[in-house]
Every structure is written in C-alpha cells, then in structure tokens.
Amino acid sequence: MAKFRHPFGRTALVLALVAPLALSASAFAAETTYEIDRAHSSIVFKVRHLLSKVPGRFKKFSGTIVVDPDKRDTVNATASIEVASIDTDETKRDDHLKSPDFFDVAKFPTITFKGSKLTDVNSDHTKGKLTGDLTIRDVTKPVVLDVEWFGKGKDPWGNEKIAVAGTTTLNRKDFGIIWNKTLDSGGYLVGDEVEIEINVEAQVPKEEKK
C-alpha cells in the first residue's frame, strides 16, 4: 500500500483509529467514512494470571473511521464491543469474566470508545497518539492509544480500504473491575494491568462508493 505524507483527520475506532496520520488532504475531496471490516480485524488483550500472561480477544465489535481533510488534528472515532463475545479459549474462565465479578455482561453488555484528538505524530506521519474516552461498566475514563498507520488501497474486489493499529495499557480497577484472590505466597492471582492490541482494516461501505 502507498504511503502518504500528511496527517489529518477524523477517525473512528479503537482502533482503526489512526487514518489521519498519513492521508494527504489531496487524497479526499470530502469527508470519507470507513467501516471496520471485522473479518480482517482483531481486538486482543493480555492479563497476568499467577506467573504468566493469559491472552484473550473480543470476537464481535463494530466501528467507523471518519476522515475529514479539513480537520487535521481532531478525531471522530467511535467503536462498540460486545462484551459477551469475550474468548480466552476456556469456557469456565469466559463465564467468570462475564459475571458480576468482572464485566457483568447482564448489566453492561457493551464497551465503547470515542476518540477525540491526534497528537505526537512522527516525522514520516505513520505513528502518533490518539486520545479518547473508553467506557467499561458505565465508567468512562480518558485513554491514550499509540497508533500506527499502515496505508490505504484497494483489495482485489475494488473495495477501498485503510489499515491501522493501536496499543495501550489499562488498569482494570479504574473501571470498577476489582475482583482478585490473595496468594499464600503473597501478591494476587490476577494482575491489574491489561495490555490491549487493536489491528483493523476498514473500508468504504458499498452504498457510499462512487
């Protein structure tokens, strides 16, 4: 995929979240909306358990990236994750994560993200930081994602796509997820920090193609 030289933008998602880093204003005549292609995207996480780190992912999510050539440092990033789609390859653990001890899916079925501002763009306009509001269990906190732009192009079927990635580390207790067990040797069973990695392909919806 070709690289572009100037950041701009409004974007949207958690990840998809960094289109403004590298798109040039000349690449678009007007605001363009991209929708996340879930089949080619992922939201994964890692949390310490005892001595190791356990990976997991969310299988169902949606979001958009709105690129606006007239707004180079702001972001209109939105994403929604279905918490019940959590998958750590262990049914009992997944059920516990869905329970009131953790995400309490019955009361809080979605995680949402709304991006706001893109800063600290590097010299070749491929990396930066995206600030936004993350809501988990009805608790909203500001978060900063380190984001990277991979390019823009068309797939073999003519779909216009962009590819982006984002990473961040959160403290689960900030969002009211505080369950834990004390170990006989000292310390706790589950770590507080959650490492998150987002990889996204997004495309112009077919009905919007011209």
Q: What is the pLDDT along the chain (210 residues), one digit of tens a residue?
A: 433 333 333 333 333 344 445 443 444 446 778 899 999 999 999 999 988 899 999 999 999 988 766 665 666 778 999 999 999 999 999 999 999 999 999 999 999 999 878 889 888 778 899 999 999 999 999 999 999 988 788 889 888 888 889 999 999 999 999 999 998 888 899 999 999 999 999 998 876 555
In a domain, 114, yes or no: yes
> Is 85 within the bounds of a domain?
yes
Residue 166 belongs to some domain of the structure = yes
Position 76 scores a pLDDT of: 76
Separation of alpha carbons 75 and 183, rounded Å: 43
Give the pLDDT score at 181. 92
Residues 102 and 179: beta-carbon distance below 8 Å: yes
pTM: 0.82
In a domain, 10, yes or no: no
pLDDT at 83: 98
The verdict on residue 118 lying in a domain is yes
For residue 120, give the CATH number of its domain. 2.40.128.110
How high is the pLDDT of residue 121? 85
Rounded to whole angstroms, the Cα distance separating 72 from 59 reads 31
Number of H helices, E strands in the chain: 1, 11
Q: Does residue 116 sit within a domain? A: yes
> If you count them, how many residues does the chain have?
210
**Does residue 30 fall inside a structural domain?**
yes
pLDDT of residue 125: 76
Total Cβ atoms within 10 A of residue 51: 6
Q: Residue 116: what pLDDT?
A: 76
Structural domain includes residue 140: yes
Can you give the residue range of the structural domain that contains 37? 19-44+58-91+107-170+196-208
What's the domain count of the chain? 1
| Residue 152 near residue 1, CB atoms below 8 Å | yes
